[in-house]
Amino acid sequence: MTMEQRLLLAFVLMGGVIFLSQYLLPKPPQPAPQQKKAETAKKQETPAPVAATPVDTNATPAAAEKVEYPVFENGLYRVKFSNKGAVVLEWTLKAFKDADGKPLNLVSTANADLTGVHPFAYAFKDLKPAQELNDKLFAVVRTPEGIAFNYADASTVARKAFRFVDGKYLVEVDSSVAEKTVPITHSLVWRGGFGDHTVQKSYAAQFSVFLPPNDSSPTTYESAKAKDAPVVDAGNYVFAGLQDSFFAAVALPKPGQVVELTTLSDSLPYPPGSNEKLPHIGAGLGVAGRNQFTMYLGPKDLDLLEATDKRLVSLVDWGWFGWIGRPLFAALRWLDSTYVHNWGWSIIILTVLINLALVPLALSSMKSMKKMQSLQPQIQAINKKYEGIGFNDPRKKQQNEEVMALYNKHNVNPAGGCVPMLLQFPFFIGFYKVLNVAIELRGTPWYWVKDLSQPETLAVRILPLLMIGSQFYLQKMTPTSGMDPAQARMMLLMPLMMGFLFYNASSGLVLYWLTGNIVGIAKQLVFNKISSDTVSAPQPAPKKKGK
């Protein structure tokens, strides 16, 4: 199950506890009263791919005599290559840091060494060249815009070129292989995972991705999809490649150009160096003897994605509640850039504003819940009247009808106690997605928290413990008159359930919920003060005297 599905299930279960416990738990004779942007380049448009040039199948022998490690560097990248196989060893984004505070390398060097396959290595299907090109030493040709690699012998000719677009996260890739003038169909592969490998459970946030031309949202595959065998998809896709939560490496084929995406999975140690192995995503791109495409290889920044290709913004997955996640992010960014200049405090302020906007509904729900609790003596009397009957007994329907008639008479909503929680759910999921997909929040500190998009790095996480404590206090101070002790104890388990869900959640999400608890405590104090004067408990009808 995805995190969203688990959260939805948790909320449904908690709502069920509130609603059903009064019927399913044994009732005592008498009721017992109790009291959650790294700065980027300017918008620019996608350049046209490098013009195709024919493969020189009559080339003179070309190869290097020793291993070389050429480096290309510009304002955005530092890319380290090896001429052995013409592969990439490191692809570092200068503007971003990993969880260890080092410049972010999108390549897992350890995983590449274990698989023996480094990014942009050749992969062949049926027909293979006579030489194992991934082991050959290519001649290196440096240019101001990039690096090219050439290999040729008596029968095999291969070329691989990378041209970087200055000031943009774009690289034009041109790869060709021919054997005795016959083009050899091949792909270029990236294995062992992609993105920030230093965050917790990094493998779980990495996917292959492609967008068919008529779809509005991309298709993604997790590593488990290719656990038994590679999965091949081909088409004239808008883009195709790899992604994690905040970064993407996707090919942008020319209109009408068919590209083949092969999703791969490698079982590799996690954490690195451990004996436990977990599947890591990989992908191959290509479908011809000569593959030419422009790649976007950088952050999933909305402004940069839109400037490159408007359809690239679909890489940012806002989830089920995108209709609220997008405006939440816009509001957070506006608060941060205009007034607060601190993402943590922006989360707190926005949470307070949201809760204040929901005050009328929350008060109405509290009143409904209090009325329902005051009806408990009469509900228990009805339950006692039908005590011992089974769920299949026809009289069970009559019992439920009497209870509902009592609710209707006093204008009480039996699900009123669930309303505040249900109201928070879209905002909760919205904040969850914002904190997991907005590149601006990645690596943003707040006091002792190093990264609001990740769990705290302390041995004992402070925010989740504060959240559990505030949830307990809020639960204890909520009026429970008419609620039996067993039901009240079950309600007190909810903070532990929420703490279990939140302990490994992003710090920004925990901060959001903690702030909501604090606001809820303030609202409950006010409500408890005025409710005694505004809500009177309905009394059961007086009994008629016998003759």
460-486 pLDDT per residue, tens: 999 999 999 999 998 888 765 545 566
Domain of 121, in residue numbers: 71-315
Interior angle at CA 142, CA 139 and CA 144, nearest 5? 165
**Domain assignment of residue 104, yes or no:** yes
pLDDT for the residue 178? 96
Let me know: does 67 contact 137? Beta carbons within 8 Å. Answer: yes
Contact 194, 249 (CB under 8 A): yes
If one compares 20 and 134, the residue with the highest pLDDT of the two is: 134
Question: What's the pLDDT at 95?
Answer: 96
Long-range own/partner contacts, residues 530-538 (CB < 8 A, 24 or more apart): 531/366, 531/367, 531/370, 531/479, 534/367, 535/367, 535/370, 535/371, 535/374, 537/371, 537/374, 538/371, 538/374, 538/375, 538/410
**Per-residue confidence (pLDDT) for residue 42, from 0 to 100:** 36
pLDDT of 544 above 60: no
Residue 22 reports pLDDT greater than 60: no
Give domain status of residue 117, yes or no: yes
Q: Which helix (H) or strand (E) holds 374?
A: helix 359-374
* Predicted local distance difference test score (pLDDT) of residue 291: 96
Is 310 inside any structural domain?
Answer: yes
The amino acid at 432: Y
**284 band by pLDDT with thresholds 50, 70 and 90:** very high
The pLDDT of 488-510, averaged and rounded, is: 84
Cis bond before residue 271 (omega within 30° of 0): yes
Residue 113 falls inside a structural domain = yes
Residue 537 pLDDT grade (very low, low, confident, very high; cuts 50, 70, 90): very low
Q: Are 467 and 512 in contact (CB under 8 A)?
A: no
pLDDT at 390 over 90: no
Token readout for 292 is 């030419």
Q: Does residue 206 sit within a domain?
A: yes
pLDDT at 12: 62
Of residues 369, 365, 386, the one with CA closest to residue 27: 386
For 106-130, the DSSP string reads SS-HHHHHHHT--TTEEEESSS--S
Residue 541 has pLDDT above 80, yes or no: no
Alpha-carbon gap, residue 376 to 410, rounded angstroms: 12
Beta bridge partners of 235: 259
**Residue 252 within any structural domain of the chain:** yes
CA 24, 27, 33, 34 torsion-angle sign = negative
pLDDT score, position 419 = 65
Tokens of 446: 């707040």
Per-residue pLDDT of 330-340, as tens digits, reads: 999 999 999 99
CATH number for the domain spanning 145: value is 2.70.98.90
CB 208 within 8 A of CB 195: no
Residue 157 pLDDT exceeds 80: yes
Structure confidence by residue, pLDDT tens digits, 400-442: 888 888 888 887 777 666 666 677 788 888 888 898 889 999 9
Task: Report the alpha-carbon distance of residue 48 to residue 257 in Å, rounded.
Answer: 14
Percentage, residues of the chain above pLDDT 90: 58
CA distance linking residue 378 with residue 151, whole number of Å: 89
Fill in the DSSP letter of residue 137.
B
Four-residue CA torsion sign, 7, 209, 437, 266: positive
pLDDT in the model for residue 251:
97
CB of 208 within 8 A of CB of 263? yes
Using 50, 70 and 90 to split pLDDT, how confident is the model at 48?
Answer: very low
Token pair belonging to 255: 């209109």
In this structure, what are the phi and psi dihedrals at residue 97, rounded to the nearest 5 degrees? -115, 155
Residue 328 has pLDDT above 90, yes or no: yes
What mean pLDDT, rounded, does the chain reach?
84
**pLDDT band (50, 70, 90) for residue 357:** confident
pLDDT in tens, 143-155: 999 999 999 999 9
Rounded to an integer, what distance in angstroms lies between the CA atom of residue 148 and that of residue 70?
10
Percent of the residues in the chain that have a pLDDT greater than 70, as a whole number: 82
Alpha carbon dihedral 405, 406, 408, 411, in 10-degree steps, equals 180
Question: What distance in Å separates the CA atoms of residue 171 and residue 146, rounded to the nearest whole number?
Answer: 9
Q: At what angle do helices 359-374 and 419-437 cross, to 10 degrees?
A: 140
Output 58 or 495, whichever has higher pLDDT. 495
**Higher-confidence position of 379 and 44:** 379
Q: Please report which confidence band the pLDDT of residue 286 belongs to, taking 50, 70 and 90 as the band edges.
A: very high
The residue with greater pLDDT, 4 or 87, is 87
- Report whether pLDDT(517) > 50: yes
Beta bridge partners of 292: 174
Is 376 or 249 the better-scoring residue by pLDDT?
249
Q: Cα dihedral angle (186, 191, 196, 202), rounded to 10 degrees?
A: 140
**Looking at residues 523-530, what average pLDDT do you find?**
81
Please check whether residue 125 lies inside any domain of the structure: yes
Whole-number Å distance between alpha carbons of 86 and 121: 7
Tell me if 278 is assigned to some domain.
yes
Looking at the 3D structure of the chain, how many domains does it have?
1
| Selection from 40-49, 125-134, 183-192, 536-545 with the highest mean pLDDT | 183-192
The pLDDT of residue 37 is 40
Q: Report CA Rg, the chain.
A: 30
